[in-house]
Chain A
Amino acid sequence: QVQLVQSGAEVKRPGASVKVSCKASGYTFTSHDIDWVRQATGQGLEWMGWMNPATGNSDYIQKFQGRITMTRDTSISTAYMELSALTSEDTAVYYCARVVSGSFDYWGQGTLLTVPS
């Protein structure tokens, strides 16, 4: 069965970087985009960007340009999202999701990032 398993919760100081992993299993990793979505406490879902595991191509929303990188290691079917220059406003749960025909059909369990102010 398809599964996306994310790395554990993180606590980072302001200005630091975080790298969240998303390990895929149960399907061919390179066949579907992996997107990242975040959700601040009590807030809605915010789409962050996409990555094509086959090519490594990616794109991100404007607000993260310059401080976000989405990469992958196809040998271990794992996608990564690295966010730098963290502030307290980056405190949120980060999700990876598999994309099929424009829908996010499987999601990771979420990774809580806390950046104390």
Chain B
Amino acid sequence: QSALTQPASVSGSPGQAITISCTGTSSDVGGYNYVSWYQQHPGKAPKLMISGVHNRPSGVSNRFSGSKSGNTASLTISGLQAEDEADYYCHSYTGSRPLYVFGTGTKVTVL
């Protein structure tokens, strides 16, 4: 099971919207609605931002939204803010061994 594919970096200006893609296969992203997204600031533990493809946990800004089409999931951050600058990882259930797989990670830079 290979890691899910994400762009290495995405950047945007404050106030803009950006989208991070996460490409897998029909055995992971495409096969289940168990795709999550995590935000990680330097030196910190990851934080759940989106679960179940598009669900926002309590306390997560509604500027973050998730979607999926076929084998590709996406995270959109609208109204980009300086505090959104971080690494972002997608994550999917696979239903087999290994049970979960992470994406390669995307560094978001706010210009």
Assembled-state Cα–Cα distance A74/B47 (Å): 26
B-chain residues with CB within 8 Å of residue A104 when the two chains form the complex = 36, 38, 46, 48, 91
Please give, as numbers and ranges, the residues of chain A lying within 8 Å of B57 by CB-CB distance. 105
Of B12-20, B73-81, B99-107, the stretch lying at the interface with chain A is B99-107
A87 contacts the other chain (Cβ, under 8 Å)? no
Q: Can you list, as one digit per residue, whether each of B40-67 has a CB less than 8 Å from chain A (1) or not (0)?
A: 1000011110011000010000000000
Whether a CB of chain B sits under 8 angstroms from the CB of A27 is no
Given contacts A104-B36, A107-B45, contact A44 B93 (CB under 8 A): no
In the bound complex, CA of A105 to CA of B13 (Å): 29
Residue of B nearest to A48 (CB): B98
Interface range, A side: 20 to 34
Q: How many A-B residue pairs have CB under 8 A?
A: 65
Question: Are A47's CB and B32's CB within 8 A?
Answer: no
Residue from B3, B45, B89 whose CB has the most chain A CB atoms within 10 Å? B45
* Residue of A50, A61, A103 contacting most chain B CB atoms (<10 Å): A103
Count residues of B near A (Cβ-Cβ below 8 Å).
25
> In the complex the two chains form, what is the Cα distance from A108 to B105 in whole Å?
20
Give min CB distance, B77 to chain A, whole Å.
Answer: 18
Task: Please state if A102 and B105 are interface contacts (CB–CB under 8 Å).
Answer: no
Cβ of B89 and Cβ of A44 under 8 Å apart? yes
In A97-117, the 8 Å CB interface with B consists of 100-105, 107-110
Would you call A47 and B105 a contact (CB within 8 A)? Answer: no
A80 CB contacts on chain B under 8 angstroms? none
Q: Are B46 and A103 in contact (CB under 8 A)?
A: no
Q: Given A44-B3, A44-B105, are A102 and B36 also a contact pair (CB < 8 Å)?
A: yes
Q: Which residue of A lies closest to B45 (CB)?
A: A107
**Which residues of B pack against A, CB within 8 Å?**
3, 32, 34, 36, 38, 40, 45-48, 51-52, 57, 89, 91, 93, 97-105
